[in-house]
Structure 1
Amino acid sequence: MKTKQIIQPVTDLFHSPYGARDRQMIYGDLITVEAEENGWAQILSVKDGYQGYLPSIALGAQTKATHRISAASSHIYVQPDFKSRDLCSLSFGSRVQVLTYGDRFCETPNGFIPTPHLKPADTIDADPVALAELFLGTPYLWGGNSRFGIDCSGLVQAALLACGIPCPGDTGPQESTVGHTLPPDSAYQRGDLLFWKGHVAFVYDPETIIHANAHDMAVALEPLQAAIDRIQAQGDGPVTAHKRLA
Structure 2
Amino acid sequence: MTDRRLHPDPERITQKTPAQIIVPVTDLDRSPTGPRDRQALYGEALTVLDRADGSAYVQLTKDSYCGYVNETAIGPVTTPTHVVTAPATHAYTYADLKSPDVSALSFGSRVAVTQTEGRFAQTALGYIPTQHLAPLPHHFSDPAAVAEMFLGTPYLWGGNSRWGIDCSGLVQAAFLACGIPCPGDSDQQQSSFADPVPDSGHPPRDIRRNDLLFWKGHVALVLDPLTMIHANAHHMAVTREPVQDALTRIAKIDGPLTGHKRLSPSKWP
Structure-1-length-normalised TM-score: 0.97
The alpha carbon displacement at 1:238 in A equals 1.2
Task: Quote the Cα distance in structure 2 between the aligned partners of 1:109 and 1:179.
Answer: 38
Asked whether the 8 Å contact 2:103–2:125 carries over to 1, the reply is no
Q: CA deviation at 1:110?
A: 2.1
For residues 161 and 121 of structure 1, what CA distance do their matches in structure 2 show?
Answer: 13
* Structure 1 segments (4+ residues) deviating >4 Å: none
Which of 61, 66, 74 aligns to 1:46? It is 61
1:125 aligns with 2:143: no
Shift of 1:121: 2.1
- Quote the sequence identity (%): 56
Partner of 1:212, secondary structure, is: strand
Aligned length: 245
Cα distance change of structure 1 residues 230 and 30 upon mapping to structure 2, 3 Å threshold: same
Letter in 1 for 2:36: R
| Counterpart pick for 2:52 among 34, 37, 44 | 37
Q: Who is 2:211 aligned against?
A: 192
1:104 and 2:119 are equivalent in the alignment: yes
Q: Check whether the contact 2:95–2:118 (CA below 8 A) recurs between aligned residues.
A: no
What's the counterpart of residue 244 of structure 1?
Answer: 262
CA distances 1:43-93 after superposition (whole Å, capped 9, x unpaired): 000100100111101001111000000000000001111111000100000
Shift of 1:4: 0.5
Q: Post-superposition shift, 1:102?
A: 4.7
Question: Which residue is 2:246 aligned to?
Answer: 227
Q: Which runs of 5+ in 1 are unaligned?
A: none
Is 1:102–1:115's contact at 8 Å kept on the other side of the alignment? no
* Correspondence 1:35-114 to 2 at 5 A: 35-114=50-129
Query: 1:164 is paired with a residue of what secondary structure?
Result: coil
Aligned equivalent of 2:220? 201
- Tell me how far apart the structure 1 counterparts of residues 133 and 19 of structure 2 sit (CA, whole Å): 22
The question of whether the paired residues in 1 share the 8 Å contact of 2:95 and 2:117 is answered with no
1:177 is matched with which residue?
192
The answer on whether the counterparts of 2:40 and 2:160 sit within 8 Å (CA) in structure 1 is yes
Provide structure 2 residue ranges, at least 5 long, that are not aligned to the other structure. Answer: 1-15, 265-269
Tell me if the contact between 1:193 and 1:203 (Cα under 8 Å) persists in the aligned partners.
Answer: yes
Q: Which amino acid aligns with 1:209?
A: M
Give, in whole Å, the separation in 2 of the partners of 1:105 and 1:243: 41
**How far apart are the structure 2 equivalents of 1:117 and 1:77?**
13
1:154 to 157, 161, 169: 169
Superposition deviation, residue 200 in structure 1? 0.4
8 Å Cα contact 1:194/1:200 also seen in 2: yes
Q: 1:137 aligns with which of 124, 140, 152?
A: 152
CA distance in 2, matches of 1:102, 1:204: 39
